[in-house]
Amino acid sequence: MIIDSHQHVYYHGAHPPKVIAEMDEFGITVTWLLTWYLPPNEDVPGTHRAFSPCNLRPDGTHAGATLNQILEACNRYPDRFVAGYCPCPSEGNAPELFESAYHMHGVRVCGEWSYRMLLDDPRALELFHKVGELKCPVVLHLDVPYLPNDKGQQIYQPHWYGGGVEPLERTLQACPETIFIGHAPGFWRYISGDADSDSATYPRGQIVSGGEVQRLLDTYPNLYADLSAGSGLGALKRDTMHAQEFLNRYADRLLFGRDQHGQDLQLFLESLELPEDVAAKIFSQNALRLVPLSEGA
């Protein structure tokens, strides 16, 4: 069995039938469908064409991938999709909104969290406490607010989400009852100990010891990580030998996901010829432990 723990609909042309067709082609049994909501004041014009034009607002901003689209897909393919949803903590009462979606629409994943506020903002923590109370995992998209240039100067990144590793650690400490799943460039850069001095959004060099991702996984049992997208796969491809060691060591806390078309990650993992029990945990067992199919699809 394969479970894709990170996917969207109406993103880069992936309407529900196309997602299902790829799942069938690649042998994926169930997919977690996540929202990717963009508040008006966090609009990213360069992404508009990637999402459905139905979510363009009258003011010219785009809402991204929204809950109504997720629910449409889940209602159409109830045995294949698990609904994810992350309300914006700066709009309305996010804990109440998530709890309503949990009871009313069967949402079982809080995600994708992708907002331009520190991860441990009190409004976000209130949401995370509620999600933990409901025993749902939180999928975090993290991007750092600063990257160094070639002179070592810290350059502000306008599209940052959550902050760096410090807000993540404070959040893990503040919400020990909640499972967090790290994802995106601002998380996976920290697999290497030189993350703070690397100027690339997607670092490519050999892994340097002392990575914060490993330290956090060792320290906080409520932290998991998904291997999706160019950030997760790129982190593994930086150093194949390190990838083997990392996947074996943290097999209980890693999830297979795509967050895009194709099966690049799947083929890469298969090429490593991981032990059968390790592969089973990454491809499905960990996701099933966090979201049993009886509770979702």
Instruction: Enumerate the β-bridge partners of residue 83.
Output: 33
Q: Hey, what amino acid is at 129?
A: H
User: Would you say residue 272 has pLDDT above 90?
Assistant: yes
What pLDDT digit, counting tens, does each position of 46-67 carry?
A: 999 999 999 999 999 999 999 9
CATH among 3.50.30.30, 3.20.20.140, 3.30.1490.190, 3.20.20.100 for 3-295: 3.20.20.140
Q: What percent of the chain has pLDDT over 70?
A: 99
User: Would you say residue 180 has pLDDT above 70?
Assistant: yes
pLDDT attached to residue 185: 98
Distances (CA, A) of 18 to 101, 146, 149, 248: 25, 37, 40, 33
Domain ranges of the chain: 3-295
Q: What percent of the chain has pLDDT over 90?
A: 97
Encoded tokens for 263 = 């099966």
What pLDDT digit, counting tens, does each position of 193-232 carry?
A: 999 999 999 999 999 999 999 999 999 999 999 999 999 9
For the four alpha carbons of 292, 32, 109 and 260, in that order, the dihedral sign comes to positive
What pLDDT digit, counting tens, does each position of 5-21 carry?
A: 999 999 999 999 999 99
The mean per-residue pLDDT over the stretch 241-263 comes to 97
What pLDDT digit, counting tens, does each position of 97-125 carry?
A: 999 999 999 999 999 999 999 999 999 99
Residue 152 pLDDT level (bands cut at 50, 70, 90): confident
Mean pLDDT across the chain: 96
Encoded tokens for 240 = 């194949």
Element (H, E) at 247: helix 240-249
pLDDT attached to residue 297: 56
pLDDT attached to residue 296: 44
Reading phi first (left if > 0) and then psi (alpha if -120 to 50, else beta), residue 167 is in alpha
Residue 151 pLDDT level (bands cut at 50, 70, 90): confident
User: Would you say residue 287 has pLDDT above 90?
Assistant: yes
Q: Hey, what amino acid is at 45?
A: P
CA atoms within 13 A on the CB side of 27: 8
